[in-house]
Structure 1
Amino acid sequence: MKTWGPLRHAMMVMALAALSGCAAISAVSDAATPLDVYELRAPDSIAATSGRVLARDVIVEIPTTSGALATDRIMIRPNALQAQYLPDVRWSEPTPVMVQTLMLRSIEATGAVRYVGRKPLGVSGDFALVTEVIDFQADVVPATDTANVQITLLVRIVRESDASIVASRRFTASAVATTTETSVVIDAFSSASDQVFADFAQWVRATL
């Protein structure tokens, strides 16, 4: 018994190490699994301006948001206090960057300003858009297989010369996903996004 005790202990340690190694390999394999990628586009309903182009340079700063939304994963909330993500899918960019891209494309679609970009052409632009992403998720409706997609942005137009806030507005839109299947939820995101960014583009054009 004294001879086999240490040997059995050593064998058990080796077996546990092997199991741990298998778990680690499995985790790496899961992390390496490619995710389906989805991308939201600026709404087609934005009409180009019929008036003169404004001599304005507009800088769209990357929005701020909560840690749960600062990712390329697509958030779905089973309840108000819990954040989860749709499995096996992701956005084409992290949510703040994707919102910045949508803002840029929406303003460009109006053709209303001389320049819009992520960075100024010179030392600074004329105006900066400072944005907070408050909501960008699907909220599961309790006791159902449906969800409400909610998008809420708080946008401020800031004059660069004196850092004063020219205007601010909260944009919000929702759309119903009749099931929590990925394709249905993404369609609801697209519908809510179209509402928000069409309103946003019109507001920027009118304000500037």
Structure 2
Amino acid sequence: MTRLALIFAPLALSACSALSALSDATQVLDVYELRAPEGIAEAPRRSRLNVTVESPTTTGALLTDRIMIKPSELEAQYLPGARWGEEVPVMVQSLMLRSLQATDGLSYVGREPLGLSGDVAIVSDVIDFQARDLGEQAEVTLRISVQLVREEDVAILASRTFASQAVSASLETPDIVAAFDAASDELMVAFADWVVTGLR
């Protein structure tokens, strides 16, 4: 069974193509979410560090719950009739959090520190989180810049940019979202391994 979850679907299916313009601000939208990968390996031992995953920053075009698809390099549109369950930065934060929790490699990981401050903060920026129209398919590109910051003196311990891509089976919304899911899986597995390995 796919991990991709369709939270809500209206009874009437939209006949619009993936690139058609939004027709009505009151339109009922299908809501999709991405989940943390199921195949994340558990860490061989647990770090004693408390880690805070801060909400990522991003550009204005991605500061939304709409699913972006680009017909060209300089043009951005959103899939009609569909949205994410959370705004993109919040969803990415949730994916990071759940992926790290799945490793069982950290003493604590959360959106907020346990006390006044944690040991390490994960600071990130969502650079790409969109699909690109290829004609009969779409290419999904995810790119996120991540820094590990020691809270005590705000020193950057490590930094890396993670990127992944996946091609959809068609321009239908479920296929495009499935490609987002595949690209997210690849990126989050690499991210979680990098964080846990770096903080041992």
Q: TM-score, normalised by structure 1?
A: 0.83
Matched to 1:33, the amino acid is Q
> Comparing both structures, which one devotes a greater share of its residues to helix?
1
| Partner of residue 133, structure 1 | 126
What is the percentage of aligned positions where both structures have the same residue?
A: 54
| Partner of residue 153, structure 1 | 144
Shift of 1:30: 3.1
Within the candidate set 54, 59, 79, 2:47 is matched to 54
| Partner of residue 24, structure 2 | 30
User: What is the aligned length?
Assistant: 177
SS of aligned partner of 2:66:
coil
**Larger radius of gyration between Structure 1 and Structure 2:** 1
Matched to 1:32, the amino acid is T
Shift of 1:31: 2.6
Shift of 1:54: 1.1
Within the candidate set 132, 137, 156, 1:165 is matched to 156
Runs of 4+ in 1 over 3 A off after TM superposition: none
Shift of 1:40: 0.2
Matched to 2:181, the amino acid is S
* Structure 1: stretches of 5+ with no match in the other structure: 1-28
Q: Give me the whole-angstrom Cα distance separating, in 2, the residues matched to 1:58 and 1:186.
A: 30
| Partner of residue 75, structure 1 | 68
| Partner of residue 189, structure 1 | 180
* Structure 2: stretches of 5+ with no match in the other structure: 1-22
Shift of 1:50: 2.9
| Partner of residue 43, structure 1 | 37
Matched to 2:42, the amino acid is A
Q: Give me the whole-angstrom Cα distance separating, in 1, the residues matched to 2:39 and 2:162.
A: 17
| Partner of residue 179, structure 1 | 170
Output the aligned Cα RMSD.
1.1
- 1:197-208 correspondence runs (5 A): 197-208=188-199
Matched to 1:156, the amino acid is Q
Shift of 1:178: 2.8
Shift of 1:32: 2.8
Shift of 1:65: 0.5
Within the candidate set 115, 136, 141, 2:108 is matched to 115
Q: Give me the whole-angstrom Cα distance separating, in 2, the residues matched to 1:188 and 1:65.
A: 21
> Comparing both structures, which one devotes a greater share of its residues to strand?
2
Matched to 1:157, the amino acid is L
Shift of 1:33: 2.6
Matched to 2:177, the amino acid is I
Q: Give me the whole-angstrom Cα distance separating, in 1, the residues matched to 2:188 and 2:166.
A: 14
